Amino acid sequence: MARMVDGKVAVVTGAGRGIGREIAAMMARHGARVVVNDLGASVAGEGADRSPGAETVELIRAAGGQAVLNTDSVTERKGAETIIGTAIEAFGRVDIVVNNAGILRDRIFHRMSEDEWDAVLAVHLKGSFNVSRAAANHFKEQESGAFVHMTSTSGLIGNFGQANYAAAKLGIVGLSRSIALDMARFNVRSNCISPFAWSRMIGAIPTDTPEQQARVEKLKQMTPDKIAAMAVYLASDAAREITGQILAVRNNEVFLMSQPRPIRGLHRAGGWTPEALAEEMGPAFRSSLVPLERTADVFSWDPV
């Protein structure tokens, strides 16, 4: 088997379970030395437990790989610096950062609390910034490095009851794109994966209706190892020309996702008034307006 990331050092956050564990394990199988970061919190971000991360480390070591555990929180700048410091101390460098740590606090928007908003943004968006920022100077100095961030179609397309999660995940797209632009001169790449996979977080989706139950049953077909393959590829030198992109993985399907670009344009000499916008722009743009859809409306076919 070709070892796609042989000799590299990878940091994977949220690697105690699910997608993160599969990414860490596959990185190791492809030759990377891995820092397994996991706070061991619940899906909602509560509590702490070393055992999930320790189990991932043992899994990697039992297969002949090299891994160390870190249990710091990505939500704190000092914690993120310690995560990257663990890689430097244990393995002498860092080449890959996979920002996978996440929590869910789902609530319909008009009932969502400030704490539910803040907690999700802190782990997903601020956590991705913190760990990326802690690694950035190392990548700059060695003039190489790859970031892989996890986004979601909840942000890219939409979903019910996830305003906090959707905002964080779409924010990560902007963060990744900015990193790609700012650090391209140092041969540093940054990409996003939008994963469809059965995981502990997906397992927290309500199943109160037949529609929700059917959705969850379909998601169970989509195992985390499918996501791990994309993460290893994007982190490898084989993907050296891919940066600033969003790739989705849905069971055996992979997609390059679109990013915002102008669709239609109108010019009016002398500028626009509210009345002119209503009379001219509204009718002209109507057929091109993006419909109010959810992920299931766009990905309407069963996973392949």
Catalytic residues: 165
Order of strands, sheet of 67-70, starting from the edge strand that comes earlier in the sequence: 67-70, 33-37, 9-13, 96-99, 145-150, 188-196, 246-250, 253-256
How far CA 258 is from CA of 157, 255, 276, in Å, comes to 11, 9, 31
Query: Both tokens of residue 41?
Result: 């919190």
Pinpoint the alpha helices (H) of 76-190.
77-91, 114-121, 127-142, 153-156, 163-183
**How many CA atoms within 13 Å lie on the side-chain side of 210?**
0
Angle between helices 51-62 and 18-29 in degrees, nearest 10: 30
Q: For residue 246, which amino acid is it?
A: I
User: CA 101, CA 16: separation in Å to the nearest integer?
Assistant: 9
How far CA 7 is from CA of 29, 93, 180, 237, 242, in Å, comes to 11, 10, 23, 12, 21
How far CA 32 is from CA of 1, 16, 18, 172, 235, in Å, comes to 14, 17, 19, 25, 10
User: CA 91, CA 66: separation in Å to the nearest integer?
Assistant: 9
